[in-house]
Amino acid sequence: MADSGSEDIAVIGNTDLTPSESENNLKNTMVEKGTSLLKKMEISVAEAEKRTGKNAVNMQETYTVYLIEMRPVDAASEGTNPVPDSLWRRYSEFELLRNYLLVTYPFLVVPPLPEKRAEFVWHKLSADNMDPDFVERRRVGLENFLLRVASHPDLSTDKIFYSFLTEENGWKETVFETGFQAKADSRLKALNATFRVKNPDKRFAEMKHYGDELQSVISQLLRVRARAADRLYGVYKVHGNYGRVFSEWSAIEKEMGDGLQSAGHHMDAYAASVDDILEEEEHYADQMKEYLFYADALRAVCRKHELTQYELEMAAQDLTSKKQQREELATGTIRTFSLKGVTSKLFGQETPEQREAKLKMLETQIEEGEELVKERNAECEEFVKSAWVDIERFKEQKDHDLREALISYAIMQISMCKKGIQVWNNAKECFSKM
């Protein structure tokens, strides 16, 4: 399908779009929005292969690796076909990359990976990670992930990301050398702790709520769709029985034989057609899943903002209490209850030298505290600014992508209806010859 400029034309004007074509359209969008990386290089996940090897606990395991290819854009258009740079990566390496990005850019809505395990399956699909269909859909999902990152104005310039695409060996070590793991662990711990922010930012609170709703409604949609797909499969397949019975029946009839026999073939074709239909629908489900996981990424940003805000509030609170202590010490009044105050009352006051030393320590702490508050405040402001820019970008992307997905769903339904019309018209013709 030739690029005709805007992807909207391609999708709406042509109702015979196939899943791979609509996939292309998505890529074109990303390329056109054009980060400098994508302007130079064409990135793809071309293949998947099975490997066996020893894992961390020295046990045999089978896993799949994916071939990442980078091709200079100019070369493609010039017609020359140099061998692309390529390397193999497995899913766990993609996960490592994403975790690194999450920790390094907590204020960005980091693109999600395709699901780790097949969820929302209907009965026919294997939930097995080794199933070829699952592997193929994962390959597409991983490519999509790379393109999303590569088309992001900030993420695309990340060096670790670039070396993920270019350095097969030693990449893992490079990532660990950044020390992100430690940050990741402490962040994780903090995020999992329950904390309450005194003055929650309304916008972020709303965003988080939206993320919750989005996640909930897409999950529901995927569940319902999977059940409906299962049932639809049953309807189509039972028609295959018509094929068998018509065929048997035609054997005992004279005049009706031919009509019945050919009608039977059409029934078989009808029954078989559901496989393609549901495969296309799976693609739609994958598009929905991406945004299900995106919802999670969005919530993560909001949560991290809350943490940042909480830390600021904590620092401010700490500073205030330290200032109060200084005041009490300086004026000799005890306004706040403290065990020290009580014991000093009971066992006698401190010496002027002790008080002096304490005051000096407090002053230092207060100075440091003020620095910390200033820092955290700046952090918070920076976070809010960057996060909000990215959230706006994300919203636009989401609205565009999901609208396209709905359109492609309609196109699929249309295609299914057209096939149905054809089959039943053919069958009708055969029946009339009975």
Partner 1 sequence: MMSGSVVDNTVSSGNSSAAIPTDISGQILDLDEDDDLEVFSKDTTLTDGSSFNASMQTSPASMINQYKFEEDADTKDIFVTVDNPESHVTAIETYITYRVMTKTTRSEFDSSEFEVRRRYQDFLWLKGRLEEAHPTLIAHPLPEKFVVKGMVERFNEDFIETRRRALHRFLNKIAEHPIFSSSEDFKIFLTAASGELTSHKKQGPGFLSRMGDTVKAVAAAVRGVRNRPQEFTEMQEYVEAFSQKISSLDKVTQRIVREQKEYLEELKECGPTYALWSQSEEELAEPLKNVAGCVDRCCKETEEQVKNLSDHLIPVLHEYVLCADTLKMRNDLDKAEDRLEWANNALKSDWTRWQKVMRTDLRSAFVDTAERNVSYYEKCLAVWESFLHSQRTDAEGNGKVDFS
Q: Is 420 in the site for partner 1 (CB under 8 A)?
A: yes
Q: Is 225 in the site for partner 1 (CB under 8 A)?
A: yes
Q: Is 402 in the site for partner 1 (CB under 8 A)?
A: yes
Q: Helix H segments across 332-351? A: 339-347
Which residue shows structure tokens 């009839």?
A: 253
Contact (CB, 8 A) for 85 and 70: yes
Q: Is 2 in the site for partner 1 (CB under 8 A)?
A: no
How many Å separate Cα 357 from the centre of its chain? 55
Considering only 135-143, 179-187, 194-202, 212-220, which stretch makes contact with partner 1 by CB under 8 A?
212-220
Q: Is 378 in the site for partner 1 (CB under 8 A)?
A: no
Nearer to partner 1, 42 or 404 (CB): 404
Q: Smallest gap, in angstroms, from Cβ of residue 230 to partner 1?
A: 8
Q: Which residues within the stretch 246-265 sit at the binding site for partner 1 (CB under 8 A)?
A: 248-249, 252, 254-256, 259, 263
Give the separation between CA 91 and CA 84, rounded to whole angstroms. Answer: 21
Q: Which residues within the stretch 62-121 sit at the binding site for partner 1 (CB under 8 A)?
A: none
Say how many C-beta atoms besides its own lie within 10 A of residue 108's C-beta.
23
Task: Find, among 129, 120, 44, the residue nearest to 286 by Cα.
Answer: 120
* Crossing angle (nearest 10°) for helices 352-432 and 257-331: 170
Give the separation between CA 167 and CA 172, rounded to whole angstroms. Answer: 10
From 130, 182, 238, 357, residue interacting with partner 1 (rule: CB under 8 A): 238
Give the separation between CA 25 and CA 1, rounded to whole angstroms. Answer: 10
Q: Is 342 in the site for partner 1 (CB under 8 A)?
A: no
From 51, 61, 234, 357, residue interacting with partner 1 (rule: CB under 8 A): 234
Residue 86 is given by DSSP the state: E
Q: With contacts defined by CB under 8 A, how many residues of the chain interact with partner 1?
A: 57
In sequence order, the 6+-apart residues with CB closer than 8 A to the CB of 247 are 260, 261, 264
Q: Smallest gap, in angstroms, from Cβ of residue 223 to partner 1?
A: 9
Nearer to partner 1, 127 or 421 (CB): 421
End-to-end CA distance of the chain: 43
**3-state class percentages of the chain: helix first, strand second, coil last, to nearest 5:** 70, 10, 20
Task: Find, among 133, 164, 160, the residue nearest to 68 by Cα.
Answer: 164
- The binding track of 6-45 with respect to partner 1, each residue x by CB under 8 A or -, is x-xx--xx-x------------------------------
Give the separation between CA 32 and CA 37, rounded to whole angstroms. Answer: 12
Q: Where are the beta strands (DSSP E) in 34-80?
A: 41-54, 60-72
Considering only 28-36, 48-56, 132-140, 402-410, which stretch makes contact with partner 1 by CB under 8 A?
402-410
Q: Is 360 in the site for partner 1 (CB under 8 A)?
A: no
Q: Smallest gap, in angstroms, from Cβ of residue 241 to partner 1?
A: 4
Q: Is 1 in the site for partner 1 (CB under 8 A)?
A: no
Nearer to partner 1, 218 or 319 (CB): 218
Structure tokens at 227: 């059940």
Positions touching partner 1 (CB under 8 A) are: 6, 8-9, 12-13, 15, 210, 213-214, 217-218, 220-221, 224-225, 227-228, 230-232, 234-235, 238-239, 241-242, 245, 248-249, 252, 254-256, 259, 263, 398-399, 402-403, 406-407, 409-411, 413-414, 417-418, 420-421, 424-425, 427-428, 431-432, 434
